[in-house]
Structure 1
Amino acid sequence: MPAPQQTIRRSLLVLSAALSSLALTAPLALAAPSPTPTPSTTTSATASPTATPPANMSSVGGARLAQPGTQVNLTSGVPVVPKDLTARSWIVSDAETGDVLATHNAHWRLPPASTLKMLFADTVLPKFPKTTEHKVVASDLAGMGAGSSLVGIKEGESYTVHDLWLGVFLRSGNDAVHVLSHMNGGVDQTVADMNAHAQDLQALDTRVVTPDGYDEPGQVSSAYDLTLIARSGLQKKDFREYCSTVSAKFPGETTKKKGKSVRGTFEIQNTNRLLSGDSDVSVYPGIAGVKNGNTTNAGATFTGVAERGGKVLLVTVMNPEKDEHNEVYKEAAKILDWGFQAAGKVQPVGELVAPKNAAQASAQPGATASGEAGGDTAGTKPTASATASVSTADEDGSGGVGIALAIVGGLLVLLAGGVFLVNRRWPLPDLVRRRPRP
């Protein structure tokens, strides 16, 4: 029979698990109402987005996020938001708590360009072990848009899934996206999977037409949605590895040398300039990913994650109007700088909502403490309390159960009154807390 102290400890763990489930479900009902339908801001693949945000934007994450213009609570001690930002839409948030620190037209539905590849990765990456090899056939590379960014995949050559994902993240290779899409059952199947996953993440501004982000009529997302998608992706070990890789060797073509087949390699570098740097942009301190994009219709888009002083912030910037080299990275850096200065001082204007299935996923048997299933990839990361509930579910102790039920009953009264007593942090793994490069 368990000791009284053990019984109480187990009861508290059960209580913690119950409250964790409530924290994921009850706040969603309040903070994430169904969005007001928003007409698409683009009607053709060549039309530019309008210069004015729509009057009716989604209120997912809070009512302030539905309002046009800059939303921030400037109180004593909170620095002023940079004045020279020209992006049509941007958002900065705490990646762990989900607090939205400030935003500008958060739910404006705009073309996402290759930042949409984050959703592609978050959807498809868990399906194939990184060591899986695939020999490319002509149909794998069919249907790419003219002028697509390419990593250099060749028909008849074999590539590992690991190679293909490096091509997706570092070179934004549409050829790598199409090969992986065909491995996943085809482009149409992958688009359907991505749209379903966006709905599950509550990224309701997002509509996928092509998995690579190439300009297509009606393909849209928002700064808010891209941030939700990045936050979900960062729970996966492989996603973190690929999006934070600065450079890598990529397989080249096979040639004959002295009667032997020899396969060369070439170097690819990440086109995220806050990660790799450029002539007019320095590597951002603490940067750990995530993804950039640029097309004629979308302009420049970028989502990034960075850590400083124990805080992990996510930033998304869409389509700066200022036409300067690397402007999207310059504005993202300014917003991140402001966010790190304001974090802990500013009252949030909204929140990043949890996925619809977060409560169920966190309670499923077999989830690991780190939430990284299957070694290579991971699903939604469970909270510590949810992990504890799995490890204690088969333990008995009638006295402890009685105590737990009594405590839960009392706290449910408080929760019903609107007092949320649960720490709703969604921890990010250590790899996001990027170590300085040597």
Structure 2
Amino acid sequence: MPALKKTVMTVLSAALLSVCVLSPASAVDKDKKDDKQPKPTGPMSTVGGERLGAVGTQVDLGPGAPVLPKDLTGRSWIVADAESGDVLAAHNSHWRLPPASTLKMLFADTVLPTLQPTTSYLVKEQDLAGVGEGSSLVGVKEDHSYTVHDLWLGVFLQSGNDAVHVLASMYGGVDATVAAMQRHAYELQALDTRVVSPDGYDAQNQVSSAYDLTLFARSGLQKADFREYAATASAQFPGEQEKGKKRQSFGIQNTNRLLTGADGVEQYQGIAGVKNGYTTHAGNTFTGVAERNGRVLLVTVMHPDPEVSHAVYKEAASLLDWGFSASGKVKPVGTLVPPKSAVTAAGEGTEPAAGANKTPGAGKENQAAVGTSVAAAPAGSGVWIALSVVAGVLVVLTAGVFLVNRRWPLPDLVRRLPRR
């Protein structure tokens, strides 16, 4: 018996020793793996709160709050309450990264209010001259007429850079559109964003952040037509006009797979848009809005692991699931700031949100960039668009008790969408 006991103790000791040896090794391996993940190399903005400028994951779990999803690979992501503006969790949310076609949200938020949807336009060769090689296209043809409504369907559903360039031509040209987008980004306090091309095509120095993309989505979703386009799963688009024949149309489908359930990606319950993107330089990017049990959340994921199929959708869905479960059980780590004009209208001064002056490049150089070519853009764009939106909201709200960032009236369409 003593011999047997001695043997058992020896085996147990060996087992415990192996656990002690292996556990640190596993931790070291994990650290090595984490060290290989790209990280911001410079200081990040603190717009929306100091925590949002810190490197790594930011979350404050309260009693009963679920832990964050495992295996998140996005270089940058954020989960926020779309109405209150509370940021529930974030990871490198101010890291400036190429945005790909998610930048089209800013394009639409800037240009959409200035063009009547029934206006018809005959496309000229020069309108399509600046479309980048390998761009996503909806199939716009020169010497063919399209309504503004048609073109916006091409932008939102097919992410058509050809449709973007035609709309930019109608707005006043690519340069005027880029300048107006930059001004509008500044008005929204999206100070990480530098606009070079209106369609999000890879361009030198063109960057945004998960935080800024979420601001663009939140602003755009105040507009009924933006919401309708973003939530449209499929539509008909005008085809080529053959001489002597009636012009035919062809079907197009939204490339947001959480909305359509295409390519093996499961539709997300309560999804209502907004935009996905991909380029070689940017990787996959996605911003989505969803409603569940009266709560509306926004999520943005930028550049997840390219080796994982549909990672951007899987990670966005898992973060939304977490956000709905965690709402009310976590302490916000920051906030989505209101537009500058909303702060001014509420009598809280004209300065950007706390931390904005710490944003790299957000000083005189940025102010010069957003202040150029003001006369080049049509009246009603940029700041004036945002002012009109804010004015309408503030009429509904009571004398600034809730600022625009505290309660945006999101949105009838989101709440009407059927469960999936």
Answer yes or no: same fold by TM over 0.5: yes
CA offset digits 1:338-373 (Å, max 9, x no partner)? 00000111110000000011256689xxxxxxxxx9
Tell me how large the CA RMSD over aligned residues is: 2.2
Counterpart residue number, 1:405: none
Equivalent of residue 243 in structure 1, options 230, 234, 241 = 230
Task: Evaluate the alpha carbon distance shift between residue 355 and residue 384 of structure 1 in structure 2; reply closer, same or farther with a 3 A threshold.
Answer: closer
Counterpart residue number, 2:39: 52
Equivalent of residue 313 in structure 1, options 268, 282, 297 = 297
Matched, 1:269 2:253: yes
Deviation at 1:435, TM superposition (A): 2.0
Corresponding letter in the other structure for 1:380: V
Counterpart residue number, 2:395: 386
Q: How many residues align?
A: 345
Matched, 1:433 2:403: no
Corresponding letter in the other structure for 1:177: V
Cα distance in 2 between the residues matched to 1:247 and 1:53: 38
Deviation at 1:327, TM superposition (A): 1.1
- Which one has the bigger helix percentage? 2
Task: Evaluate the alpha carbon distance shift between residue 337 and residue 437 of structure 1 in structure 2; reply closer, same or farther with a 3 A threshold.
Answer: closer
Equivalent of residue 129 in structure 2, options 134, 139, 142 = 142
Cα distance in 2 between the residues matched to 1:388 and 1:60: 24
Q: Secondary structure at the match of 2:248?
A: strand
Matches within 5 A, 1:108-187: 108-187=95-174
Cα distance in 2 between the residues matched to 1:94 and 1:251: 38
Task: Evaluate the alpha carbon distance shift between residue 66 and residue 359 of structure 1 in structure 2; reply closer, same or farther with a 3 A threshold.
Answer: closer
Task: Evaluate the alpha carbon distance shift between residue 55 and residue 76 of structure 1 in structure 2; reply closer, same or farther with a 3 A threshold.
Answer: farther
Task: Evaluate the alpha carbon distance shift between residue 383 and residue 120 of structure 1 in structure 2; reply closer, same or farther with a 3 A threshold.
Answer: closer
Structure 1 residues 122-131 or 381-390, which shifts more? 381-390
Q: Secondary structure at the match of 1:239?
A: helix
Counterpart residue number, 1:99: 86
CA offset digits 1:252-275 (Å, max 9, x no partner)? 01113xxx3310000000000000
Q: Secondary structure at the match of 1:357?
A: helix
Task: Evaluate the alpha carbon distance shift between residue 136 and residue 319 of structure 1 in structure 2; reply closer, same or farther with a 3 A threshold.
Answer: same
Deviation at 1:229, TM superposition (A): 0.5
Cα distance in 2 between the residues matched to 1:148 and 1:57: 30
Corresponding letter in the other structure for 1:321: D
Cα distance in 2 between the residues matched to 1:221 and 1:384: 26
Task: Evaluate the alpha carbon distance shift between residue 360 and residue 238 of structure 1 in structure 2; reply closer, same or farther with a 3 A threshold.
Answer: farther
Counterpart residue number, 1:304: 288
Cα distance in 2 between the residues matched to 1:149 and 1:422: 41
Matches within 5 A, 1:194-209: 194-209=181-196
CA offset digits 1:196-220 (Å, max 9, x no partner)? 1000000000000000000001000
Cα distance in 1 between the residues matched to 2:416 and 2:77: 23
Cα distance in 2 between the residues matched to 1:249 and 1:215: 28
Cα distance in 1 between the residues matched to 2:265 and 2:216: 25
Q: Is the 8 A contact 1:170 1:268 kept in 2?
A: yes
Matches within 5 A, 1:327-338: 327-338=311-322
Aligned-residue identity in percent: 66
CA offset digits 1:303-346 (Å, max 9, x no partner)? 00000011000000000025122110000000000000001111
Q: Is the 8 A contact 2:283 2:306 kept in 1?
A: no
Deviation at 1:154, TM superposition (A): 0.5
Q: Secondary structure at the match of 1:300?
A: strand
Task: Provide TM-score, normalisation by structure 1.
Answer: 0.75
Counterpart residue number, 1:349: 333
Corresponding letter in the other structure for 1:142: A
CA offset digits 1:149-175 (Å, max 9, x no partner)? 000001111000000000000000000
Q: Is the 8 A contact 2:341 2:390 kept in 1?
A: no
Q: Secondary structure at the match of 1:263?
A: coil
Task: Evaluate the alpha carbon distance shift between residue 350 and residue 158 of structure 1 in structure 2; reply closer, same or farther with a 3 A threshold.
Answer: same
Counterpart residue number, 2:34: none
Counterpart residue number, 2:203: 216
Cα distance in 2 between the residues matched to 1:264 and 1:297: 36
Counterpart residue number, 2:58: 71
Corresponding letter in the other structure for 1:111: P
Deviation at 1:222, TM superposition (A): 0.1
